[in-house]
């Protein structure tokens, strides 16, 4: 890397002696090549801050009010649910009650009432942290919790919200979280937008990196139930090209961390990697 004092060639040479290159050969050629590139860049920017960023994100989520509400939602009884439904009917601003209900309906796989409250949250509280959790997501494939039509509806709602809130990074991030399972390019665009609005928030870089990794690991399919196609493979190739052209060492390094098989480095290399 220009301006870096890190000995890239020495580091790559040491990888060969530790067997990392041999393990990379077992991966798909495209993934292996990108992993090798990413390992070197990850080392150059030191991955310890990246791991710290991931841990801080997880800690923040677990301490958030939304996480508490979702946890409490799992313990609701049918009687509690009836009370909460009356409350949101009487009070149009019942975000907290709706979060509890979303959690309950997710646990019990009750599709329609869950979707009804998710729609309300998207339209009325699109910046909510609740969309960080799987219980508030709608699957694109047919299931008790969603399907193509349900996904298309929430997709339309999110596209409307990003048009209404062009300066709100959390809205772009929440929309990306929902859309990435079927439209990873749009999701990447939205996470980049969130990052441009909030460039110091590493959470957006981490999520963008994870998206890239899943695209590469699945050849663009994103889900085992999505059929392989030349179009999806071309999408994965575009993601590879973007990473190779990227000047964002933090992003490329994080993708490499995700894709690279865990290895037990000797002490001298642990010092290099942090």
> pLDDT tens-digit profile of 61-105?
566 666 777 778 888 999 999 999 999 988 766 888 998 999 999
Question: pTM for this structure?
Answer: 0.72
CATH number of the CATH domain containing 175:
1.25.40
Residue 52 lies in a domain: no
| Separation between Cα atoms, residue 3 and residue 211, nearest integer Å | 29
Final residue of a domain: which of 105, 136, 167? 136
Q: Are residues 147 and 26 in the same domain?
A: yes
| Separation between Cα atoms, residue 161 and residue 119, nearest integer Å | 11
Q: Are residues 172 and 255 in the same domain?
A: yes
Q: How many CB atoms lie within 10 A of CB 76?
A: 19
In this predicted structure, what is the pLDDT of residue 48? 46
Q: Are residues 99 and 191 in the same domain?
A: no
Residue 235's φ and ψ, nearest 5 degrees, are -60, -45
Q: Are residues 100 and 147 in the same domain?
A: no
Q: Which stretches within 108-147 are classed as H helix?
A: 111-124
Residue 267 lies in a domain: no
Domain span holding position 5 = 1-45+143-260
Q: Provide the number of structural domains found in the chain.
A: 2
| Separation between Cα atoms, residue 202 and residue 206, nearest integer Å | 6
Residue 274 lies in a domain: no
Q: Are residues 161 and 28 in the same domain?
A: yes
Residue 53: alpha-carbon gap to chain centroid? 14
Q: Are residues 148 and 256 in the same domain?
A: yes
158-189 confidence digits (pLDDT tens) = 999 999 999 999 999 999 999 999 999 999 99
| Separation between Cα atoms, residue 208 and residue 107, nearest integer Å | 28
Residues facing 146 on adjacent strands? 143
| Separation between Cα atoms, residue 205 and residue 49, nearest integer Å | 12
Q: Are residues 40 and 110 in the same domain?
A: no
Q: Are residues 203 and 246 in the same domain?
A: yes
Final residue of a domain: which of 110, 136, 162? 136
Q: Are residues 114 and 148 in the same domain?
A: no
Residue 180 lies in a domain: yes
In this predicted structure, what is the pLDDT of residue 259? 87
200-237 confidence digits (pLDDT tens) = 998 999 999 999 999 999 999 988 888 889 999 999 99
Residue 112 lies in a domain: yes
Q: Are residues 153 and 169 in the same domain?
A: yes
Helix (H, G, I), strand (E, B) or coil at 137: coil
Q: Are residues 162 and 218 in the same domain?
A: yes
In this predicted structure, what is the pLDDT of residue 90? 85
Contact (CB, 8 A) for 76 and 48:
no
Signed CA dihedral, 68, 69, 72, 73: sign only = negative
Q: Are residues 22 and 150 in the same domain?
A: yes
Final residue of a domain: which of 82, 112, 136? 136
Residue 143's φ and ψ, nearest 5 degrees, are -165, 175
């Amino acid at each position: 890397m220009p301006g870096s004092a890190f000995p890239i060639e020495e580091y790559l040479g040491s990888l060969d002696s530790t067997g990392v290159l041999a393990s990379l050969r077992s991966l798909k050629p495209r993934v292996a090549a990108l992993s090798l590139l990413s390992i070197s860049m990850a080392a150059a920017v030191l991955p310890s801050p990246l791991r710290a960023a991931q841990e801080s994100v997880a800690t923040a989520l677990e301490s958030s009010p939304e996480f508490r509400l979702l946890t409490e939602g799992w313990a609701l009884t049918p009687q509690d649910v009836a009370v909460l439904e009356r409350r949101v009917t009487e009070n149009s601003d019942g975000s907290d009650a709706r979060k509890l209900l979303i959690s309950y309906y997710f646990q019990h796989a009750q599709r329609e009432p869950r979707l009804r409250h998710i729609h309300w949250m998207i339209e009325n509280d699109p910046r909510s942290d609740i969309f960080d959790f799987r219980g508030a997501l709608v699957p694109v494939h047919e299931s008790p919790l969603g399907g193509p039509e349900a996904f298309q509806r929430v997709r339309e709602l999110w596209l409307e919200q990003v048009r209404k809130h062009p300066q709100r990074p959390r809205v772009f991030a929440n929309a990306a979280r929902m859309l990435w399972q079927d439209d990873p390019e749009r999701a990447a665009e939205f996470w980049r937008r969130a990052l441009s609005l909030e460039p110091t928030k590493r959470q957006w870089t981490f999520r963008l990196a994870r998206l890239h990794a899943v695209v590469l690991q699945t050849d663009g399919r994103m889900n085992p139930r999505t059929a392989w196609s030349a179009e999806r493979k071309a999408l994965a190739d575009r993601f590879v090209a973007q990473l190779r052209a990227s000047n964002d060492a933090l992003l490329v390094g994080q993708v490499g961390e995700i894709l690279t098989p865990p290895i037990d480095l000797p002490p001298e290399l642990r010092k290099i990697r942090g």
